[in-house]
Structure 1
């Protein structure tokens, strides 16, 4: 019985790892996905739920966006920081 429980626990752990890998691979870094966040960033209005959802999806892409001079100014702006905070998203610390 203990061996069966250990095998089931191992299978569940492997399933979680596979799902986690699949989810992280599925992210396509498309800054246009964050268009719903542009007005809140620029105008200081509360972000809609779509913005927060997309911001969370695009979080793995933030370092790439920060390295792009045309996007970095938006990601680093005070408005973007307010939107990220309202959406409960932390901008990752990126390696140079």
Structure 2
């Protein structure tokens, strides 16, 4: 029983450290949580010739660290790898990552 509790305690400490490392930026502050719905303000600009809004660009910048994860998800990849998404990212000054 004691071995099991020790293993569980170490596992929790490792998971906590990994989560903290993944959420801390280079300068220490936590990044905004990944939330793909924040990019919904960009859909009109991605799917039409409309320019991206300030809200779209701001959300795209905030979600920038999450883009590789979104590109790995087949539900989001079709939007983020489209020519429209490249156009929006370029207009917002946000480089699309190579993952």
Q: Tell me whether the two structures share a fold, i.e. TM-score over 0.5.
A: yes
Residues 19 and 66 of structure 1: CA distance in aligned 2, closer, same or farther (over 3 Å): closer
Alignment of 1:21 onto 2:28: yes
What root-mean-square deviation, in Å, do the aligned CA atoms of Structure 1 and Structure 2 show?
A: 1.5
In structure 1, C-alpha distance between the alignment counterparts of 2:39 and 2:71, rounded to whole Å: 14
Structure 1: gaps of 5 or more residues: 1-17
Give the C-alpha shift of residue 27 in structure 1.
Answer: 1.7
Equivalenced residue count is: 75
Q: TM-score, normalised by structure 1?
A: 0.73
More helix by share: 1
What is the TM-score with the length of structure 2 in the denominator? Answer: 0.71
Alignment of 1:1-96 (within 5 A): 20-22=27-29, 25-94=30-99
